[in-house]
Structure 1
Amino acid sequence: MADDWRTHRVDEIRALIKQAEPDIVEETKWRKPSNPDGVPTFSLDGIVCTLETYKDKVKITFAKGASIDDPDKLFNASLTAGVRRAIDLRENDRLDPEAFMALIRRAVAANRG
């Protein structure tokens, strides 16, 4: 991935995830020829979220998003999926750091449920 807005956004999101839950573990999963870098996956008592980069967006998919309260309405993708929910961020989209970290904490709590 070129050093562009997506690189910086991924770094920002990764830092917020680690700040929200210092014990979270990042692994790379699902490497394949079409995606040799794989998918960064963040886990704590189960998968919390994945972080994928596309041509026009960065996508954060919460494994159990459908069961997580989202009072700040951060979820804007996969809204009809049975279990997961996602946040799609395009170049100029703003992400509220405090609301995002609270969402990460609620996702971990759902895993511990």
Structure 2
Amino acid sequence: MEDTSAAQQINIIVKKYDDWRGEMLSRLRALIKQADPALVEEVKWKKPSRPEGVPVWSHDGILCFCDTLKNAVRLTFPKGAQMKDPQKLFNTRLDSKKVRAIDFHEDDTINEAALKALILEAVVLNKSKAK
């Protein structure tokens, strides 16, 4: 998989999960890209237990990354603890001093506007730290 583009690698990861998790990952990816068309897609953290790696979206640093778990698709924001979350999307890793995450389950609906707002807030946070 090393010689394929990040976008192609993420397509392969989406296809690997041929149940609701692949569909959820695909929907989240589309929303993330809509929120910030200037972001960069990457695949990081390849290891024996996860040879395909983890989809990562960056803009002046990592905005968020997506883990596919047994019962959830987890979208993690490395700087989530610094972010406002007026719609209360963050529902896991709430005790962390740095990260926050959102676990999406099989029949969850995505608050698209609130998720896009979080992505944009992460971009602003990264840009403020990049200077």
TM-score, length basis structure 1: 0.97
Instruction: Give the Cα separation in 2 of the matches to 1:90 and 1:22.
Output: 26
Q: Which runs of 5+ in 2 are unaligned?
A: 1-15
Identity of aligned residues (%): 50
How far the C-alpha of 1:92 sits from its partner, in A, is 1.0
Instruction: Give the Cα separation in 2 of the matches to 1:84 and 1:102.
Output: 17
How far the C-alpha of 1:2 sits from its partner, in A, is 3.4
Indicate yes or no: 2:88 matched with 1:73.
Answer: yes
TM-score, length basis structure 2: 0.84
Deviations 1:37-61 (A, max 9, x none): 1011110000100111011100000
Instruction: Give the Cα separation in 1 of the matches to 2:31 and 2:57.
Output: 12
How far the C-alpha of 1:94 sits from its partner, in A, is 1.6
Partner SS state of residue 48, structure 1: strand
Partner SS state of residue 40, structure 1: strand
Partner SS state of residue 88, structure 1: strand
Q: Which runs of 5+ in 1 are unaligned?
A: none
Q: What amino acid does structure 1 have at the position aligned with 2:120?
A: R
| Aligned residue pairs, count | 113
| Deviant stretches of 4+, over 4 Å | none
